Structure 1
């Protein structure tokens, strides 16, 4: 039996990571003198890495993150009100594993979306499923789903994700149906999955914004008792970005 036979069998079994490792071993003298078990472990590790990378790509594709932000890209410049120790703890994604929530607030341009996408990407790297959506768009989609009878499918689809990132919360008034839908989303994820909610409105202004005492009380109660909070400050990050070269 030669290398080609082995590679064909590995491909037949769907072990693409091991295929690459075998091909590498066959052309690299460095592996020739390694004991069998060490070479086997190297191939198994290659397969595990290949599967992890494939899963990450699948999760990120499904997440639909607005920005391909990464944890290492977070800007801690003075004035942004970012506590490095708090951010480091949040980047462990322990809060998602505990089914807790995260509220990001700050004025326009302070980098809420970038930070939200960085946390979403980090969750994906921990093997957690993520979905990013603008709050108003989601509520509009749900309103249409009520009309055609598919709202149950929308809710079921959202429930599949470990982390739901709701961006731009508070940008436009909500309909009464939208307020109830938001409550249903929040309520369905209590102790089962997490929400990252980002928007300009400080938490203290949410009740007035929702403008329905019963619904507002219910949403705030569920979010307040299970959420970490990050309040961004400083001038617009867009003004601080270098101008494109011409």
Structure 2
């Protein structure tokens, strides 16, 4: 006599969903079981779809956490939203290759140069987001803010060492607005020390100025030579050209949305 098949009940799905890390799996499986059009699907297909949904949800949380830790001004920056074509100084093929993050895996550096509004900061942040999607750690700084961090440790060697160690850890470090404003010679020296310590990790330098200009800023040409050599021998350079992206309607709308979200979060904290 054949046994009677036992159907899963709502209580069973509730119990499964209560298990740690199984909520999405249970919800997806329940949706499949309750869908008559899926009755002829194999048991393996149903379980595989529910498992894929659970893994996707887990990965999404990991990526969200990594993006938050990167402290990007625009967490919505993404390489697929960057308009790449040859007359902008970068091709779609180059974007696709950068999106693989192989250059980060091998610890290669990247210098992005361009006039104000050409999208260099957006591109750099998109690269950081791409790294997070590959479950690699990222961190973003404007040089002026990074310099302030170093200046605050001028009389505290232990804290300075700890800061350097912390900034050595991310798989990719973005330093934006490089030499856009005056910073102390001490801070610049620490940035050089940081680049040296990140010899086997990727650093993205974003600047309005070509590297040759840096000689006029560094107090010692030896430091400029060392920085240029470090970036030239261990990476590549992109020079962006084209229209001011900040004048585009879609980006203006996005900034408005981000501003509203920030205000809502601030009100919710009160």
2:237 corresponds, among 229, 241, 244, to 229
Instruction: Tell me which moved more, 209-218 or 75-84.
Output: 75-84
- Alignment length (residue pairs): 244
| More moved, 162-171 vs 7-16 | 7-16
Question: Cα distance, 1:240 vs. partner?
Answer: 5.1
Per-residue deviation, 1:198:
0.4
CA 1:90 to 1:209, structure 2 compared with 1: closer, same or farther past 3 Å?
Answer: same
Q: Say if 1:221 and 1:52 are closer, same or farther in 2 by CA, change over 3 A.
A: same
SS at match of 2:152: helix
TM-score (norm 1): 0.88
Judge conservation of contact 1:107–1:233 (CA < 8 Å) in 2: yes
Task: State yes or no: 1:64 paired with 2:92.
Answer: no
Are 2:205 and 1:197 equivalent residues in the alignment? yes
Give me the whole-angstrom Cα distance separating, in 2, the residues matched to 1:20 and 1:101. Answer: 43
**Deviations, residues 175-212 of structure 1 (Å, cap 9, x unaligned):** 22112211111111112x11111011102222222231
Q: Relative contact order (C-alpha < 8 Å, sep 6+): which is higher?
A: 1
Residue 167 of structure 2 corresponds to: 158
**TM-aligned CA distance change 1:241 to 1:5, over 3 Å:** closer
57-66 vs 25-34, which moves further: 25-34
Structure-1 residue corresponding to 2:259: none
CA contact (8 A) 2:85 2:91 kept: no
The answer to whether the aligner puts 1:213 opposite 2:211 as a matched pair is: no
Gaps of 5+ in 1: none
Q: Does 1:185 align with 2:194?
A: yes
Matches within 5 A, 1:77-156: 79-148=87-156, 149-156=158-165
2:266 aligned residue: none
Q: Is the contact made by 2:79 and 2:130 (CA closer than 8 Å) also made in structure 1? A: yes
Distance 1:12 1:126 in 2: 27
Q: Aligned partners of 1:242 and 1:92: how far apart in 2?
A: 26
Pair member with larger Rg: 2
The 2-side partners of 1:204 and 1:13 are apart by 55
SS in 2 for 1:133: strand
Aligned counterpart, 1:43? 50
Provide the rounded CA distance (Å) in 1 between the counterparts of 2:50 and 2:96.
Answer: 33
**Quick one: structure 1 residues 77 and 219, their matched pair in 2 at CA, closer, same or farther if it must change by over 3 Å?**
closer
Question: What TM-score, normalized by structure 2, do the two folds share?
Answer: 0.81
Cα distance, 1:151 vs structure 2: 2.1
Distance 1:215 1:89, change over 3 A: same
Distance in 2 separating the partners of 1:5 and 1:242: 47
